[in-house]
A and B are shown apart, each in its own frame.
Chain A
């Protein structure tokens, strides 16, 4: 199979793979900033997808600072107003540009749970890929930083808000990259609720069948979905045994431990596709929210006590940062 990117694509095969840049920041600091920024926004906009940011902060921070080999962006990129969807006269550019120029030797990072968009935006800002100030446009009319991101939203190369589709789409990307002999990995981030979708398992079997061993899947296993605890609504355990039975290598980590997350990737043997199951806590960093579990899908301050406690949590997070 010989193929090249369509003209206008951003791949430059001659670029050396060693031009990767991992940020100098620590995953711990980035994770703290992600929590603080999303909590700040939750207070300012009177509600947000906060728990998703709290559970995934270390996963995203570790991926962006220690795992992903992405081309640097010369300076934090602006996020201009939405202009149009694909297929129209003036479509907005791909949100994938925030992950830098695509090159065969570099990784691709594909995000499945679009409800985590606010956490992605905060992470991109924290690692210097998204222009300061853009984050404040979150969920305002005309902004590409939509509440549930689409492929014009920063960080999003795929449109994935309908759950369970990103793994299949990423596998389609990975199989072409495999046939081209590209060394870069295809890294997918998804949420555990998506494991309930049948398509996820269609993709899992096809990824194993086509031996897409350069595909790495990170799952935020926070154990919660809209209606409550996943174990009460539709149990997905044993997740590890299920993936193993489908022919994947499986690693289970504490999803708030950056070192463990990084090691899961550095120690992979590449003999099979890898899934890293990151077990997390939806109130991590804001223990006040423990009492609200499992009703944390969308956190809205309900009264003055909530607002006071959340402000205190924000002060604690930003104080730690300073």
Chain B
């Protein structure tokens, strides 16, 4: 099931009883689904123009006065351009400023200037910062509650436009979602990669490779005991799949937990291979950089030295919404 503009509607309803919530736009009001909020609550909407350094520090000032600003712009303009302002005006004082960053990884044809591929790495390394990422409509509908509960700054890797609905329950802070249980491999996926990973795991299963699959929505902190338990479930290989540089994101976070817990299984990190991307459609770029379902299956089969003839039709025929049932069974 594909849905449209989930954040736009959810934000308006969610903020209705929260007078402390205000929204700051970086001249990307339509592009970040906050036009409905602007129209519903004009006195809580501040367009800060194209001046992100000022926007980050300004938000820190507002937070000191009791507001909880939700900053909306493209992720690159929240964490790359105004990094020092974010560090000194927001994160050092541990202020409740929430960054809602759009166009994660390759989710834009806008090319290198618009593609946030190292944002999770930067934000994981920032003291006091909490890092959340959404992968479906249910995540989008619940991420604001999770972010709002955090006393300090939060970075949300957000999706816009058409998004799948994979889950039927709210995301939980620092808790992975369980999608599948298996014993050959363990797969951790995040963000948009989870839908493709669901497809890949189903096809691998049909070829005799059983997978434990977890969807990660909180990238920092990353202390859920289930991460280590799941990592131990796959006998042959642990795989991480992310729409981000393989350095500093999900793959690194899983590697740290595995090493600390003494999980000796080999780790395959799938993601952008430490290079900048370019402008093209998301489907094209996913395949180019190895995070399409087809490339995920091929990479895992190759590492396991198993022959799997990947059939695109078979992959696209996998019912991803089935994860709803799976999720409910496993998590509840």
The answer on a CB contact under 8 Å between A159 and B93 is: yes
Closest-CB distance, A158 to chain B (whole angstroms): 8
Q: Bound state CA distance, A45 and B325, in angstroms?
A: 70
Chain A residue contacts of B44, Cβ below 8 A:
1
Closest-CB distance, A144 to chain B (whole angstroms): 15
The answer on a CB contact under 8 Å between A168 and B58 is: yes
Asked whether A199 is an interface residue with its Cβ less than 8 Å from the other chain, the reply is yes
Footprint of B on A, CB under 8 Å? 1-6, 9, 85-87, 150-151, 157-162, 164-166, 168-177, 179, 198-199, 202-203, 205-206, 209-210
Q: Bound state CA distance, A168 and B46, in angstroms?
A: 14
Q: Bound state CA distance, A45 and B85, in angstroms?
A: 32
The answer on a CB contact under 8 Å between A3 and B58 is: no
The answer on a CB contact under 8 Å between B94 and A168 is: no
- Which of A1, A169, A199 counts the most chain B CB atoms within 10 A? A169
Asked whether B292 is an interface residue with its Cβ less than 8 Å from the other chain, the reply is no
Q: Bound state CA distance, A198 and B48, in angstroms?
A: 15
The answer on a CB contact under 8 Å between A203 and B128 is: no
Closest-CB distance, B328 to chain A (whole angstroms): 36
B72-101 interface (Cβ within 8 A of A): 84-85, 87-89, 92-94
The answer on a CB contact under 8 Å between B20 and A3 is: yes
Closest-CB distance, A11 to chain B (whole angstroms): 9
Closest-CB distance, A225 to chain B (whole angstroms): 19
Closest-CB distance, A71 to chain B (whole angstroms): 17
The answer on a CB contact under 8 Å between A165 and B89 is: yes
Asked whether B127 is an interface residue with its Cβ less than 8 Å from the other chain, the reply is yes
Contacts A87-B127, A173-B65, A199-B85 aside, 5 further interface pairs with beta carbons under 8 A come to A158-B89, A173-B64, A176-B66, A198-B53, A199-B54
The answer on a CB contact under 8 Å between A1 and B54 is: no
The answer on a CB contact under 8 Å between B66 and A6 is: yes
Asked whether B152 is an interface residue with its Cβ less than 8 Å from the other chain, the reply is yes
Query: Of the candidates A1, A162, A171, which one forms a contact with B58 in the assembled complex, judged by CB atoms under 8 Å apart?
Result: A171
Chain B residue contacts of A164, Cβ below 8 A:
53
Q: Bound state CA distance, A3 and B19, in angstroms?
A: 7
The answer on a CB contact under 8 Å between B88 and A162 is: yes
Closest-CB distance, A201 to chain B (whole angstroms): 9
Q: Bound state CA distance, A158 and B57, in angstroms?
A: 10
Chain A residue nearest to B127 in the complex (CB): A87
Q: Bound state CA distance, A3 and B22, in angstroms?
A: 10
Footprint of A on B, CB under 8 Å? 19-20, 22, 43-44, 46, 48-49, 51, 53-67, 84-85, 87-89, 92-94, 127-128, 152
Closest-CB distance, A150 to chain B (whole angstroms): 8
Q: Bound state CA distance, A179 and B65, in angstroms?
A: 11
Chain B residue contacts of A175, Cβ below 8 A:
46, 58, 61-62
Chain A residue nearest to B68 in the complex (CB): A3
Closest-CB distance, A173 to chain B (whole angstroms): 4
The answer on a CB contact under 8 Å between A169 and B58 is: yes
Chain A residue contacts of B53, Cβ below 8 A:
164-165, 168, 198-199, 202
Q: Bound state CA distance, A205 and B27, in angstroms?
A: 15
A3 and B46 in contact (CB under 8 A), knowing A165-B89, A172-B58? Answer: no
Q: Bound state CA distance, A170 and B55, in angstroms?
A: 12
The answer on a CB contact under 8 Å between A162 and B84 is: yes
A206 and B48 in contact (CB under 8 A), knowing A87-B94, A162-B88, A199-B53? Answer: yes
Chain A residue contacts of B43, Cβ below 8 A:
1, 179
Chain B residue contacts of A157, Cβ below 8 A:
64
The answer on a CB contact under 8 Å between A169 and B128 is: no
Chain B residue contacts of A179, Cβ below 8 A:
43
Chain B residue nearest to A180 in the complex (CB): B65
Chain A residue contacts of B59, Cβ below 8 A:
172
A177 and B51 in contact (CB under 8 A), knowing A87-B127, A151-B93, A159-B93? Answer: no
Q: Bound state CA distance, A7 and B85, in angstroms?
A: 26
The answer on a CB contact under 8 Å between B62 and A173 is: yes
Chain A residue contacts of B61, Cβ below 8 A:
158, 168-176
Chain A residue contacts of B22, Cβ below 8 A:
1
| Top 8 A-B pairs, shortest CB-CB distance | A172-B61, A168-B57, A87-B94, A202-B54, A202-B51, A176-B65, A172-B58, A169-B61
The answer on a CB contact under 8 Å between A206 and B19 is: no
Q: Bound state CA distance, A176 and B20, in angstroms?
A: 11
The answer on a CB contact under 8 Å between B54 and A203 is: yes
Chain B residue nearest to A164 in the complex (CB): B53
Closest-CB distance, B94 to chain A (whole angstroms): 4
Q: Bound state CA distance, A173 and B66, in angstroms?
A: 10
